[in-house]
């Protein structure tokens, strides 16, 4: 999966680079991250390839913004990418990489590390639960099955994010329990 394809998908409606960054930080945060330092070069490349077109917009406040929209060629590229079927990307979880090396710490330090990881994972889950609750309130009784396509499929990714976040919380709880038990058994 590439950032370029994600940007093409997000540009179903015209948006600035800042608007796209906000979308990454909210709607996509549970499965994809991108910084402005990545977004703007990718937008320039997409524009150079004719997949999007940018137009400077008069600012209401602050500096002028470029608003990008997907071109017909960009829509075709997005459809082609989707037609290739599901892609699996390499996943990187820095906290798990750190956990792999916790033997470099003593048991109390390792427990504190996992406690901090558990607190962060609980917060991640809480944020996603708040997003889902707000979505449900806004959609009403027919939620989620009566959502329009441009909301239904993103909601499915939120459901996946909720499941993954809940599983990570549960794993942290089990890991912390095991570390404490191990510390008590060997202490």
d(CA 141, CA 136): 8
Single pTM value for the model: 0.78
110 preceded by a cis bond (ω within 30 of 0): no
Q: Report the CATH number of the 3-83 domain.
A: 1.10.10.10
Phi, psi of 104 (to 5 degrees): -75, -10
Eight-state DSSP code of residue 72: H
DSSP string, 148-179: -HHHHHHHHHHHHHHHHHHHHHHHHHHHHHHH
Give, for all 187 residues of the chain, the pLDDT tens digit: 589 999 999 999 999 999 999 998 888 888 888 899 999 999 999 999 999 999 998 777 777 789 999 999 999 999 999 989 888 877 778 888 899 888 898 989 999 999 999 999 999 999 999 988 988 888 887 788 888 888 899 899 999 999 999 999 999 999 999 999 988 877 6
**Sequence spans of domains, the chain:** 3-83, 94-186
């Amino acid at each position: 999966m590439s950032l370029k394809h994600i940007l093409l998908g997000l540009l179903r409606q015209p948006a600035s680079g800042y608007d796209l960054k906000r979308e990454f930080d909210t709607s996509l945060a549970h499965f994809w991250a991108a910084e402005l330092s990545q977004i703007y070069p990718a937008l320039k490349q997409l524009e150079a390839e004719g997949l999007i077109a940018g137009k400077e917009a008069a600012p209401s406040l602050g500096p002028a913004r470029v608003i990008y929209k997907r071109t017909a060629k960009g829509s075709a590229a997005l459809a082609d990418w989707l037609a290739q079927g599901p892609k699996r990307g390499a996943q990187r979880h820095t906290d798990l990489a750190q956990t792999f090396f916790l033997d470099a710490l003593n048991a109390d330090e390792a427990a504190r590390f996992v406690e901090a990881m558990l607190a962060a994972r609980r917060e991640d889950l809480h944020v996603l639960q708040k997003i889902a609750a707000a979505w449900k309130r806004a959609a009403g009784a027919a939620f989620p099955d009566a959502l329009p396509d441009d909301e239904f499929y993103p909601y499915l990714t939120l459901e996946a994010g909720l499941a993954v976040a809940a599983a990570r919380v549960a794993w942290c709880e089990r890991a912390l329990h095991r570390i404490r038990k191990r510390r008590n058994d060997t202490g």
